[in-house]
A and B are shown apart, each in its own frame.
Chain A
């Protein structure tokens, strides 16, 4: 149990997916200029990463891994293609399901769902689950808390971006450059969390 707690803390704060692993930077810079946009994207990413993490883990363990069929067929080289297809299909299905069952949620998240297929954080977490050879429970904890870390950082960052619009910034640094500098200060602060564990 304490191991799982440590894993949750590590993936949420210490090894934060944006500020420490550099995954999902495109969406981090792209949709963080408005608060509700950032929250919508963050929640959509949370759903997709958690579900796809579980799914790709199951596919890897039961089909691709050499121990899967007891005949030593090593299909691990197929992981990139299989994972990206699973993620693309899952995003489609999730979009349709949300549209059908919860129109309110769809209008909030719908726009961001198609963008998520090419968010490196999703494929990145799926590949990291395999690389760290997690068990199923660890996979769920890691995927959920990593994506929560994404949501927390992108939401916090959107507050900073909203305030930064009012500041007198030189024309060349407006927008993304000064955003990156602010992200750098955030990364410094998150580095301090390493002392927690």
Chain B
């Protein structure tokens, strides 16, 4: 009886809420800027914001489905052949979304081209299946997939927004021009621009993160130093009280 009561308690402590799970994927473990996964579509489809959003949302859909499916079969699949099984599940879901886009959004289907079937080999999806869905519940895995997918979408659209804005001078979404400038650096839309923009974005984000960590560390260090100083002062005072006589004796000897 007592055992049964203890176990769920320990589990509850370890488990994070769905909201935290979602936010973890979007910011703290952002697949594009922090984990640097799934680089092929990141560089390939970010010539325009529209394509990037289409790709990102397709990946959200695929990740939710694959994470859910893989979490639900995780206890049946023998661990020796789990990777091939995961790949087949992912290929199945990707084929499904290929059909749907071909039927309902043919323009987006043409724009994404070869990168759409290549979602199968996107490291994020297999990585999440292996690292998260293979030993978590269906519910948690679905939220993890959603968070990671949205993080990927955020990464893609940041990159696409920057490239489209600076490369063509205007950003368009669903036939509405969001912003228009008079000058443009058109090389940013071409392949070299993709590498450059992504490199600079990751670098800037890393610098900001390192800076923040440094500040946090500095604050922590300051607190520790103050605490240590207090401790040392206390110790000194105590020692001084205890060793008052011997120190005076020593001084006398030295003279």
Contacts and interface: CB of A to CB of B under 8 A. Distances in A.
Contacts of A123: 117-118, 120-121
B40 A25 contact: yes
B196 A180 contact: yes
Interface of B: 36-44, 84, 87-88, 91-92, 94-95, 98-99, 114, 117-118, 120-123, 126, 190-196, 198-200, 202-210
Interface in A18-39: 19-26, 29
A interface residue count range (under 10 / 10 to 19 / 20 to 34 / 35 or more): 35 or more
A109 to B, nearest CB: 19
Contacts of A23: 40, 44, 118
A88 interface: yes
A81 B88 contact: yes
A128 B94 CA distance: 17
B55 to A, nearest CB: 12
Contacts of A77: 95, 98-99
B91 A80 contact: yes
Interface stretch (A47-55, A62-70, A98-106, A167-175): A167-175
B203 A127 contact: no
A178 B41 CA distance: 20
B120 to A, nearest CB: 6
A180 B198 contact: yes
Contacts of B39: 22, 25-26, 29
B202 A177 contact: yes
Given A172-B203, A180-B199, A80 B191 contact: no
Contacts of A185: 192
Interface in A42-94: 77-81, 84-85, 88
21 contacts: A19-B192, A22-B191, A26-B40, A29-B39, A80-B95, A80-B120, A117-B121, A123-B121, A124-B40, A128-B114, A172-B205, A173-B206, A176-B36, A177-B199, A180-B196, A180-B202, A183-B195, A183-B199, A184-B195, A187-B191, A191-B191
Nearest to B44: A22
A112 to B, nearest CB: 15
A131 interface: yes
Given A80-B98, A123-B118, A178 B199 contact: yes
A120 interface: yes
A124 B207 contact: no
B114 A124 contact: yes
A38 to B, nearest CB: 17
